[in-house]
Structure 1
Amino acid sequence: MSDSLDSLQTVGVVGAGTMGSGIAQVAAMNGYDVVLRDIEEEFVENGFETIEDSLDRFVANDDLTESEAEETLDRITGTTQLADLADADLVVEAAVEEIEIKQDIFADLDDMADPETVLATNTSTLSITTIASATDRPEKVVGIHFMNPVPIMEGVEVVVGEKTDEEVVDLAHAFSEAVGKTTWESDDKPGFVANRILMPWINEGIRAFDEGVATKEDIDRGMKLGTNVPMGPLELADHIGLDICLHASETLHEELGDRYKPAYLLKRKVEADDLGKKTGKGFYEYD
């Protein structure tokens, strides 16, 4: 395909977890055909359940009609075969945050997809340039970092690798806007804009709680009322997933030094498998 939004009809998504299913949903809601792939049928089915639950909430809130929700689901095809993404005009990878896994996926995509197909990664902290080095088309690799939860959050971070073509960057912005998002752009530096600033904020909130500065409720309330953010650091960490926060913090700590060192209590919570909303308990408890 050319690096033009007009020629983009089918979007491939690699990974049917929280982020991948969300990306598939917003693409399908905005008229794109989507091929959603994961390594096991169970994961694909879980992704569809997540999408169906999200669409049900949209319908309940009168943001979609029943028929629009059904049409959205009809546009999504699930698969366990990476080869089924061969005809996609754009592929967005949303697999786990492990550089080796992402490089393996991109090497396979590079072999399989048309040479002109743009390959995007939803990574939140890992180097676009390093991921692109696994391909013979680094100029066609770009970061399209959606925020969580994808169907609700408005922002998308477009990340420019060392060799990413300007036309590919333009396509990343245009596609993100076509699925209802507002973009900002970052160079390929550790953590980009969002997590470079967010992770120290979350970790300092956790340290303040651990050191008895205030209750978790007052820390979150103070940050919401004092800085006009919708969630405080502990509530947001639970929402993101404490394991994801820890992994991002460790990556940034390795790249940028001690100012990004993960809070001790964050490590302890992850070791106890209290990961936030997804496990029913983090800093708060959930149904």
Structure 2
Amino acid sequence: MKIAIIGAGRLGRAFALRCAAAGLDVVLEDVMPANLRRAQDEYAELGVAGSLRVALTVEDAVREADVAVDFVPDELESKLEIFSLLDRMAPPKTVLCTPTDALSMTDLASCTYRAALCVGVRGGLAGEAVELVRSRFVAEDSLRVVAGMLARVGIAATVVEDREEPMLVKNRE
């Protein structure tokens, strides 16, 4: 399985290393070259079965990805920007996965041409268990792909329904 990870900060880097240690092929991208160098150094120290390579652009990172996971801030503008980039640049088969505790996956997915391939993860990807968010659009196969990836890295996943109330509406009064 080929995983593209966008964002090599502390959490993205840790998840990339965890995926590589589990034998997955990982491509890591970040706008900060120092983050990528740190990831390469940490990977070299691990001596693991999977592969980790770095990419200088999002397009290079997702070129062959089965799953693309972003580690941008959990803010609407950041998520919309990365989803737009990933939607345009990733192959049509690529599942887009995003950690979010604050946003509606139904709303985020509706802003793409691949709403059935957008999966949210609640609870972060640093622990041992997470929730996969079932948006109104998501395909069961997409949930299975992400659950399978997480199982390979030792993270249990349960599927939950997306919040019924759209999170994009901040204030109704």
Q: How far is the alpha carbon of 1:173 from its aligned partner?
A: 1.6
- Secondary structure at the aligned position of 1:22 is classed as helix
Structure 1 CA distance, aligned partners of 2:78 and 2:124? 21
Aligned partners of 2:74 and 2:99 also within 8 Å = no
Structure 2 CA distance, aligned partners of 1:102 and 1:36? 18
- Secondary structure at the aligned position of 1:71 is classed as coil
Aligned to 2:110: 133
Aligned to 2:84: 107
- Secondary structure at the aligned position of 1:100 is classed as helix
Q: How far is the alpha carbon of 1:44 from its aligned partner?
A: 2.4
1:147 paired to 2:120: no
Alignment size in residue pairs = 167
1:168 paired to 2:145: no
Aligned to 1:118: 95
Q: How far is the alpha carbon of 1:96 from its aligned partner?
A: 0.9
- Secondary structure at the aligned position of 1:34 is classed as strand
- Secondary structure at the aligned position of 2:48 is classed as helix
**Structure 1 residues 147 and 121, CA gap change in structure 2 (3 angstroms):** closer
Structure 1 CA distance, aligned partners of 2:111 and 2:37? 29
Root-mean-square deviation (CA, aligned residues, Å) is 2.6
TM-superposition CA deviations, 1:44-94 (whole Å, max 9, x none): 234x17x82xx79xxxxxxxxx7xx2135x711122301112111111111
TM-score by structure 2 length? 0.84
Q: How far is the alpha carbon of 1:132 from its aligned partner?
A: 1.4
The structure with the greater share of residues assigned to strand is 2
1:28 paired to 2:23: no
The structure, 1 or 2, with the larger RCO (C-alpha pairs under 8 Å, 6+ apart) is 2
1:75 paired to 2:67: no
Structure 1 CA distance, aligned partners of 2:19 and 2:158? 19
Aligned to 2:67: 90
Structure 2 CA distance, aligned partners of 1:98 and 1:45? 26
Alignment identity in percent? 30
